[in-house]
Chains A and B, each alone.
Chain A
Amino acid sequence: MQQGNLSAVTLAITPEPPGLRMAFSGRLNATAAARDWAEATRRARMGEPLHLDLSGLEALDMAGAVLLLRLENLAGPARWTVPPGPMQTMLDRTRTALSGPRPPAAAASLPWLAWFGQLAWDAGGALVTRLAFLGEAVASGLALLSHPRRLRRTELLRHLDEAGLRAFPLCILLGLLLGMILAFQSSVPMRRFGAESFIPNLVGISLLRELGPLMAAVILAGRTGSAFAAEIGTMTVNEEVDALRVMGIDPMAWLVLPRILAALAVMPILALVMDLAGLIGMGVVMGTLGYPPASVVAALERALVLRDLLGGLFKAAVFGLAVGLIGCRAGLSAGRGPRAVGDAATSAVVGGIVAMVLLDGLFATLFYRLGL
């Protein structure tokens, strides 16, 4: 005879021709079921006819009932000895509960060709919805020109404040550090060639044409794009967007346009702040290398032209538009449940950064072709 003496229950497994007798005594609860589960189910899997003897049981909860029914399920129809009363009720109730319909099985995985086709179809569908969103935004923007009062000015001001003014400290800090790092890093190889005096040229052009707008856009995507997506995503989840539609209010004009316009307007300013902070950071490093501010300014005047700045600011405005559009679209297309808002914010940040890099490459080619 094998006996497991537990704090709550005692299980005795004894041969009883033609099979096994499992006799439980004490309290068969979740703790006891957890301790006996492995051994009892292992013996039941042997397929010998079972006699489940509960005559010594004092109490049985649903975890215990699940164990007993599992044993019967593994071994085949069992002989039961159950004292009449609540234990029989518990067993009956658990048996009924377990016999309910099973949830539909998950769809079987597709063969690779079908999977590839599904992927292409989904990608095509996603592209179409993005284009539709873009078209809808353009149409709403054009409609706004004829009905400018539809634009919520207070909302626009709020987003200008949140996306712009409140991002200044971060832009200044990152710009300063970026300028200092670029100056330091370039000073080492340039000193070897006696070209230290050209550091302002290198840093100035890099900042104004590329890094200033790009870093400002990263800040906008991280701070503002995700906030747009989370805010609108929460509204979508809470059916506020549906409520707007039912009230005959265009969510594009109400929610999207103020945000896009704010992103479009603040980005050149953020890029400018980033540029200036970067140049100051570079100037500080140049000072430590023995170059007075006047010579740094003179070098910048020689190296930079207005179109470097304007080209960068134009790019920044386009980046702002892209980040705003992507953030709002992510929010409006949010699914249901709390995870949807997180997914929307992630999608806004990742989509925004990827779009910026693609646009930057496009601008680089375009400016090169145009000789700018």
Chain B
Amino acid sequence: MAEPVVQVQGLRAAFDGQTVFENVGFEVRRGEVFVILGGSGCGKSTLLKHMIGLYAPAAGTVHVLGQDIHALEGSARQALLRRIGVMWQSGALFGSDTLAENVMVPLEQHTRLPAEARALLARAKLGLVGLSDAAARLPAEISGGMAKRAGIARAMALDPPILFLDEPSAGLDPITSAGLDALIVQLARDLGTTFVVVTHELQSILSIGDRCIMLDKEAKGMIAEGDPRALRDHSDNPVVRAFFRREVMA
């Protein structure tokens, strides 16, 4: 079994005294595609933002690559953040920059690669996600699916060992969504990158997820952990069953 690269222990998220979830604990292992799933409003994206150090936990710890991401400060925190990549739900591409320039931003800021190398590397990253010919376009000139792929290319700019993806399939047509799923699986296999994916798209969960956890709004926490296909077929939890079988809860 591969070693854990993310360890979440006893995590509690709360805003203005309102608990979103508590007692959340799990491990993500190197090279796997780990899915955080659950219905709308259960705190999936909130959990992701705790894992990347954007939100401070009300309780508990998050260790990324062996380091407590919330305890780190200054250059140590920066060094750790350089080793993770994040694709945001909306892509969060810089609107004034072309796709190639978007990918070059982290390369310019965090490496000493010469301009020629940065341009080639940006081209390679965009080629990896099938956007070679769109390198000179602005984010406003591309489709939602292309923006998500460009977001992945930018997140991979520094070859981080872990990529966090927030709702990569949301709002995409089934074919584009399936293409993105195939890309994630391919990158995980070929580059050995660990993926942490937040999604509630059933098809994506089943096609990309090696392991998953499920959050629930009512339970304010985790209600399941394991192989998504096994959960679909064998879970005793009625909420998990209803989620995978698209049933309405009574």
Contact = CB atoms under 8 A, between A and B. Distances in A.
B121 to A, nearest CB: 5
B11 to A, nearest CB: 31
Contact of B133 (A86, A94, A103, A335): A103
B225 interface: no
B246 interface: no
Contacts of B200: none
Contact of A339 (B95, B126, B158): B95
Contacts of B156: 62
A338 B135 CA distance: 19
Given A89-B190, A101-B133, A30 B158 contact: yes
A222 to B, nearest CB: 23
Interface residues of B, number: 34
A144 B130 CA distance: 52
A178 to B, nearest CB: 38
B175 interface: no
Contacts of B158: 30
Given A337-B138, A339-B95, A66 B127 contact: no
Contacts of A65: 124
Given A61-B159, A102-B133, A337-B138, A33 B127 contact: no
A29 interface: yes
A197 interface: no
Contact of B111 (A30, A90, A93, A106): A30
A97 B124 contact: yes
Contacts of A66: 117, 120-121, 124
Given A34-B111, A337-B96, A101 B132 contact: yes
A106 B126 CA distance: 19
Nearest to B134: A103
A94 B124 contact: yes
A62 B95 contact: no
Nearest to A93: B190
A37 B124 contact: no
A100 interface: yes
B133 A37 contact: no
B221 interface: no
A100 B120 contact: no
Q: Which of under 10, 10 to 19, 20 to 34, or 35 or more describes the interface residues of A? A: 35 or more
A106 B159 CA distance: 30
B127 A96 contact: yes
A217 to B, nearest CB: 31
A84 interface: no
Contacts of A106: 136
Interface in A56-102: 61-63, 65-67, 70, 86, 89-90, 93-94, 96-102
B127 A34 contact: no
Contacts of B112: 31, 34-35
Contact of B96 (A86, A96, A98, A339): A339
A336 interface: yes
A338 B136 CA distance: 17
B149 interface: no
A104 interface: yes
Nearest to A341: B95
Contact of A63 (B132, B137, B159): B159
A337 B117 contact: no
A340 B140 CA distance: 10
A165 to B, nearest CB: 34
Nearest to A94: B124
Contacts of B190: 89-90, 93
A67 B117 contact: yes
A340 B95 CA distance: 10
A38 interface: yes
A339 B156 CA distance: 26
Contacts of B107: 30
Contact of A337 (B128, B135, B140): B140
B127 A336 contact: no
Contacts of A101: 132-133
B63 interface: no
B17 interface: no
B159 A93 contact: no
B154 interface: no
B114 A38 contact: yes
B128 A34 contact: no
Nearest to A65: B124
A33 B96 CA distance: 29
Interface in B104-146: 107, 111-114, 116-117, 120-121, 123-128, 130, 132-141
Nearest to A237: B140
Given A93-B191, A337-B95, A338-B95, A33 B130 contact: no
Given A34-B114, A66-B117, A100-B127, A29 B159 contact: yes
Contacts of A93: 128, 190-191
Contacts of B136: 103-104, 106
Contacts of A98: 120, 123-124, 127
Given A93-B191, A101-B133, A103-B135, A34 B117 contact: yes
| 7 A-B pairs with least C-beta separation | A100-B132, A97-B127, A337-B140, A336-B140, A338-B95, A34-B112, A100-B127
Given A66-B121, A100-B133, A101-B132, 4 more contacts: A61-B159, A62-B156, A103-B133, A103-B136
